[in-house]
Amino acid sequence: MRKIGLLGLTLVTLGTWFSLRSSPPYISSALPTIKPSPPKTIQYLERILPQGIAHILLIPANSRFVVTGALSAKANTVEEFAQKRKAIAILNAGFFDPANQKSTSYVVVAGQLVADPKDNERLVNNPQLKPYLAQIFNRTEFRRYQCGQTIRYSIALHNESAPADCQLVDAIGAGPRLLPELTLVQEGFVDNALVRDALGSNQLNARTAVGITRDGSIILVMVTQKPSQPNNSGISLLQLADLMKILGASEAMNLDGGSSSSLYYLGKTFYGKVDLQGNLIKRPVKSVLLVQEK
């Protein structure tokens, strides 16, 4: 990842100073200084990017809010998840197969494995994916641990063990990892030898991501396309990694994007993908990240 020089702007959020670094050309001056927010409260930010709009939620560390996972037996929109879960915010999360509505990502809820990609026959029996199954079954996931009386979040590969004295409570897989480095090849999304790029990583698209700051705050991001430019708007994965770094994340991972990109916050829903006529696509999703009060 290229180094980014210091910029004379500072983003003040969550009672923590996140130093803004000089933005790549696609972000330019789209992230102006914002006023300090009261500590321990969720902050919603909307930032206009040259090729899209970034909807950002900042959830402070050690607050009354917790980020958990949820899975639906049948795919639902984030609005439908909100009606059932009564969450403050909901972000689409893991990958799934729209044809059979089975998850292609691991999901753990309340300490129980509720979705296993190895149970998805369309995934495991796909001859084109067989060379990548070991990598697919060990992709990045967002985790919540209970460590004594403390909640900890991390981004880890599926096969990684929980830290000592910590119990895994929730986990939702997707990938690839964005920070501290982009791991497209390692997680089987890209095969340079075969010119395979499952996510169109260099293309502009609606994208979704979750990040963790050094103090343990959570950053949820959903970047929308422009209705006026349905074929050439959004953000690439490299640009998304840069954006997460600018926002203060030390760890970050990509979530299911494209038509799945959707964010609900306090009664309002934002969808990321548009069709060729510029209309928003409201696609049901299989798993989500919930922001709820403890």
pLDDT tens-digit map of 208-239: 999 999 999 999 999 999 999 999 999 999 99
- DSSP lists the bridge partners of residue 6 as 21
Q: Tell me which of 36 and 289 has the higher pLDDT.
A: 289
Cβ partners under 8 Å of residue 97, min gap 6: 103, 104, 120, 122, 123
- Rounded to an integer, the average pLDDT of 159-185 is 97
Which of 33-42, 56-65, 110-119 is least confident? 33-42
Percent of the chain's residues with pLDDT above 90: 83
- Rounded to an integer, the average pLDDT of 14-40 is 46
Predicted pLDDT at 38:
52
Cβ partners under 8 Å of residue 223, min gap 6: 49, 52, 53, 54, 55, 206, 207, 208, 234, 235, 240, 243, 261, 272
The pTM score is 0.88
Amino acid, single-letter form, for residue 29: S
Cβ partners under 8 Å of residue 129, min gap 6: 123, 136
Where are the domains positioned within the chain? 42-293
Predicted pLDDT at 7:
26
**Does the pLDDT of residue 13 top 60, yes or no?**
no
**Does the pLDDT of residue 254 top 50, yes or no?**
yes
**Does the pLDDT of residue 277 top 90, yes or no?**
yes
**Does the pLDDT of residue 14 top 50, yes or no?**
no
Residue in 253, 243, 257 with CA at minimum distance from that of residue 203: 257
Please count the other Cβ atoms lying within 10 Å of the Cβ belonging to residue 285: 27
Percent of the chain's residues with pLDDT above 70: 87
What is the Rg, in whole angstroms, of the alpha carbon atoms belonging to the chain?
Answer: 18
Output b/e per residue, 175-191; b: 16+ Cβ within 10 A: bbbbbeebbbebbbbbe
